Structure 1
Amino acid sequence: MVMASLVSRSFDSSDETRPFEDSKGRLDVITTDRGPVGRAVFEPGWRWTEHVKPIAGTDSCQAAHVGYVVSGRMKVVMDGGESIEIGPGDLVSVAPGHDAWVLGDEPCVFLDWVGFGDYASPTRTAGR
């Protein structure tokens, strides 16, 4: 396999778009030679337990995430109760076993290069 020395892709022309339940956002996925990278747009009112759990089929999000918050705010609560609020400019690492929801009236835009490969995919049953 030969890797290109330079690649530029736009999330506006992603390889796949996965809508969340009730039109509360979407995940745009670009497949690279180093793995998938995702841009999620979580609309105000979005909550994992309401808008992704029906797709994932698990009690909490079982994806690990390493990502960057572009805009908006979100609260993340681990199954054990630990919580954080994240916002623009934050680099975030979240272990599997959590719920999350948008804070405020602005969409939360989140880039993730670890946990969005199977996230919100009805054809992949990885519990994300």
Structure 2
Amino acid sequence: MSTRTETDPRFDSGALTRAVESADADAMLALFADDAEMEMIDKRAQPSRPAVLHGKAAIAPALREVFSRDMTHEVLDCVVDADHAAYTERCSYPDGTRVMSMTMLDLRDGRISHQSTVQAWDEPAAPRPETGDFARAEETEVLDRARTEALRVGGHTAVRMTLRPGWRWTVDMAESRGTAKCMANHRAYVVSGALRWQMDDGTEGEVRAGQVVCLPPNHDAWVLGDEPVTLVDWPVAEG
């Protein structure tokens, strides 16, 4: 931790550091004047329209919310003179995400009358090109008349299903899944063969090679004819 200069003994920078690093909202709040303002500038609250809180009563819940988060706080630098103080803070989440902030304080009678903070945080890594191969699927399930292979690509799961003639969900899958109908939310491309589906309200339809189907939960489905069905499914729940 860097050296601090304190030319104004009325404002306790040590108390500020202890409050921040221990995530003590009440101790931090005690450093503010009753009519203090807190101003925040970041990606969401841009410079032309910063987020501003007026008064200690409005600042209190904001401090408590920040200090309740699962993160560590570290004051890196703090400098104080008669009327102002400034400090930088580094926060870290358990997953490694970091937030950096720079705060300027206006002081009056040893209390914070105005706080202005500019902060920035790590963004998720940009998507990168990625390929997968069902021949090296991460999960494979083999039943009498069905084979499923699943792998994750780009953060989402893709499933290839191969269904033999005679396959029907209520006959071949219901027992292992523990439900009377399929409760998955499917979005699939049919590579080969033909499949018929029926919803719980009796609505029926067919999907064939080259077509895409989206089936909501509570449905049955079965293979039509003597040709196996192969389809690739991206479950809707995966986004």
TM-score category (smaller protein): 0.7 to 0.9
Instruction: Give how far 1:33 is off.
Output: 4.0
Instruction: Give how far 1:72 is off.
Output: 0.4
Structure with bigger strand share is 2
| Equivalent of 1:112 in 213, 225, 233 | 233
| Equivalent of 2:148 in 8, 19, 27 | 27
Alignment of 1:1-128 (within 5 A): 2=125, 5-20=128-143, 23-114=144-235
The TM-score normalised by the length of structure 2 is 0.45
**Structure 2 runs not aligned, ≥5 long:** 1-123
Instruction: Give how far 1:34 is off.
Output: 2.2
Compare relative contact order (CA 8 Å, sep 6+) and give the higher one, 1 or 2.
1
Structure with bigger helix share is 2
How many residues matched? Answer: 115
CA shift digits 1:8-56 (9 cap, x unpaired): 1111111110123xx2021100023422110000111100011111111
CA distance in 1 between partners of 2:127 and 2:140 (Å): 24
Q: 1:50 to 1:89 in 2, by over 3 A?
A: same
CA distance in 2 between partners of 1:8 and 1:85 (Å): 30
CA distance in 1 between partners of 2:187 and 2:234 (Å): 6
Percent identity, aligned pairs only, is 35
Q: Conserved in 1, the CA contact under 8 Å of 2:128 and 2:154?
A: no
3-state SS of 2:171 partner: helix
Instruction: Give how far 1:3 is off.
Output: 5.7
CA shift digits 1:53-112 (9 cap, x unpaired): 111110100001011000000100001100111100111011101000000111100111
User: Greater Rg, structure 1 or structure 2?
Assistant: 2
CA distance in 1 between partners of 2:165 and 2:141 (Å): 17
CA distance in 2 between partners of 1:86 and 1:7 (Å): 29
RMSD over aligned Cα, in angstroms? Answer: 1.8
Q: Conserved in 2, the CA contact under 8 Å of 1:37 and 1:111?
A: yes
**Structure 1 runs not aligned, ≥5 long:** 118-128
CA distance in 1 between partners of 2:217 and 2:133 (Å): 28
Q: Conserved in 1, the CA contact under 8 Å of 2:140 and 2:148?
A: yes
Q: 1:100 to 1:116 in 2, by over 3 A?
A: farther
